[in-house]
Amino acid sequence: VGSTLEVRELFYATPARRKFLKTDATELAHCVEAVRRHALARPDVGFAIWHDGRLVEQWRSAAGNDPDLQRLADVLGDEFVAQSVGVDHQGGPVRVRGRAGIPDAARSRPDQQFFYVNGRFVRDKVLAHAARSAYEDVLHGHRQPVYALYLEIDPARVDVNVHPTKIEVRFRDGREVHQAVRHAIENALAAPRAGEAAAPAAMPFFKPAASSPAPWTQPAMHFAAERGVGDAAAMWPGRRADPAPLLLSVPAASLPANDSAWPLGRAIAQLQGIYVLAENSQGLVIVDMHAAHERIVYERLKSQLDGAAITSQPLLIPATFAASPQEVATAETCAAVLNTLGLEITPFSPRTLAVRAVPGTLAEGDPVELARSVLAELAQHDASTVVQRAQNELLSTMACHGAVRANRRLTLDEMNALLRQMEATERSDQCNHGRPTWRQVSIRDLDGLFLRGR
C-alpha cells in the first residue's frame, strides 16, 4: 500500500551541478531534512529513508488520539513536546495550531522552526517576523525559538506560485496573518508554567514554623498594589508620604490545606538578599526576587497601556527627511496602519516625507528614525511592531528601576505575596530580558547531591 520512489543517477546528465555537491554525509543530511519536513505535515503517512542499503530514518504512521503530537515527538523528539505548549488560535480567516517551544527550549540556531500553510512547508518573512515578535520580551539575547505551526487559510487568500519550489508564499492580507500568528504564540506562552508538571505530592522535607517578627526593621514592599494610581507607590515605595509600612499578610483562613494549591510553594528563607527559597510538593523553589518583581511590574504597566488607544501628539514643526521611492509608496498605501500606531507621515514632495505626529509616549525620541524603522518593517512584513517595541522598552526600564533591588530584606509575608503574584502574572517565568525568574530543584536532585539511596 502506498508509493515507492526510486531515483538513480540523478546527476548523470548534469555534470556541472555535480561539481558543486558537498560530501555524501552533507548531501544525505539535506535529503533527510527534506523528508522530515514532509513527515511533519502528514502524520497519517509512514516514511522510511534508506541509504546504501541501510535504514537511516523511519517514522511509522501515527495513530491514537493525537497523531499530530505523536509525529512531532517521533520526528523532533520527546524533549520538543515536553518543552513546548499547544497552540490553537482562530484569528479572522486564519487558524493557527501546533506547538510553540517555551523560552527555556530556545536554541542557538533556527533549525527547529517549521511553518506549514494548508499542509505545505513554507519559508516566509511575514510568518518568521510574527513568531519572533511574539518571543520578543521572553527570549534572552539572540536565542532562536523552536516551533512547529500549521496555518489553515482560504486558498484564495494565499498565492503559492511565487517560487519555483513552492517554498515561498504571498498572502493577500499579510497583516491579518501576522497578527494571527503573533497573538496565537503570545496567548500560548502567556500562562505561568509553575506547577504544570506537578509530581504527586511528596512529604515535605522541611516544614516551616510560623513566621516570627524579624530582628531587624525594614520598609515593606507593597506587592499587592491595586492597578491604577497605586502602581507608582508599588514601584517607588520610598517616595510614599505615609511612613507606615504596608504589609501584605496572608490570613490563616485563606491558607490552603496542602502545598499543592500553591505551585510555587511557601517561602522559607531569603538567600544573600537576592534569592527567595520556597518549599513546594516537588522540593525546593529558588526565585530571583528582582527578576520576578520586575516582570510583575512590567506586565502591570503593559496592561494599563494596552487598555488605552495610542495617543498621537502633533509636532509643532514637522520633521522632514529624504525618502526612497519605496518609503514614499509605503507611507501612502499604509496611511491607515500608521494612524493606528499614532504616526502621521505624509508626502512633502516627490522625494520627501514629513512626520507630522508621533505617539505621545515617544514624543521625546527621534521622529525621523522612528518613521524610517516603521516604514521599513511595513514594507517588508506588512506589519510593524516598532512603536510597541519602543513603548515596551520604556516600560521595561521603568519596571527595572522600580522592582525590588538585591540586598533588600523581605519578610516571609512579603516573600509569599511575591510568589502568589508570580503565579497570577502572565509570562512570569522570564524577566523582561528573557532570564528565568525561578528554578525547581526536586527532592530527587537533592537526594543525588547527598548520595541518598545509593
Domain range annotation of the chain = 15-59, 77-190, 219-454
pLDDT higher than 90, residue 237:
no
Beta strands in 20-160 (DSSP E): 47-51, 54-59, 84-91, 94-101, 113-117, 120-122, 147-152, 158-159
Select the highest-mean-pLDDT range: 18-27, 163-172, 216-225. 163-172
Select the highest-mean-pLDDT range: 168-172, 239-243, 362-366. 168-172
Residues 322, 59: Cα–Cα separation, whole Å: 56
What is the predicted pLDDT for the residue at 193? 75
pTM above the 0.85 mark? no
- Tell me the pLDDT tens digit for each residue of 351-377: 999 999 988 767 777 889 889 988 887
Q: Which residues of 174-198 are buried (b: 16+ CB within 10 A; e: fewer)?
A: bbbbbbbbbebbbbbbeebbbbeee
Average pLDDT over residues 113-126: 92
The residue type at 152: E
Name the more confident of 213 and 286.
286
pLDDT higher than 60, residue 207:
no
What is the predicted pLDDT for the residue at 201? 36
Strand partners, 312: 359
What is the predicted pLDDT for the residue at 232? 42
CATH (residue range 77-190) = 3.30.230.10
Please report which confidence band the pLDDT of residue 226 belongs to, taking 50, 70 and 90 as the band edges: very low
- Tell me the pLDDT tens digit for each residue of 265-316: 888 888 888 899 998 888 899 998 888 898 888 888 777 767 666 678 899 9
Residues 147, 186: Cα–Cα separation, whole Å: 13
Closest CA to 312 of 334, 348, 347, 338: 338
What is the predicted pLDDT for the residue at 241? 38
Residues 450, 454: Cα–Cα separation, whole Å: 9
What is the predicted pLDDT for the residue at 66? 86
Contact 413, 250 (CB under 8 A): yes
The residue type at 130: A
pLDDT higher than 80, residue 69:
yes
| Lowest-pLDDT choice from 16-30, 99-113, 321-335 | 16-30
Average pLDDT over residues 313-334: 91
What is the predicted pLDDT for the residue at 59? 92
CATH superfamily to which 219-454 belongs: MutL, C-terminal domain, regulatory subdomain (3.30.1370.100)
> Dihedral (C-alpha) 18, 20, 22, 27: value to the nearest 10 degrees?
-60
What is the predicted pLDDT for the residue at 196? 61
What is the predicted pLDDT for the residue at 236? 44
Name the more confident of 153 and 247.
153
pLDDT higher than 60, residue 319:
yes
pLDDT higher than 50, residue 238:
no
Grid cell of 178 as nine digits: 501576522
Percentage of the chain exceeding pLDDT 90: 29
Average pLDDT over residues 380-395: 68
pLDDT higher than 90, residue 389:
no
Q: Which residues neighbour 90 within 8 Å (Cβ) at sequence distance 6 or greater? A: 96
Name the more confident of 257 and 174.
174
Beta strands in 274-363 (DSSP E): 275-280, 283-288, 312-322, 344-349, 352-359
Please report which confidence band the pLDDT of residue 197 belongs to, taking 50, 70 and 90 as the band edges: very low
Strand partners, 276: 270, 287
Select the highest-mean-pLDDT range: 5-9, 11-15, 251-255, 346-350. 346-350
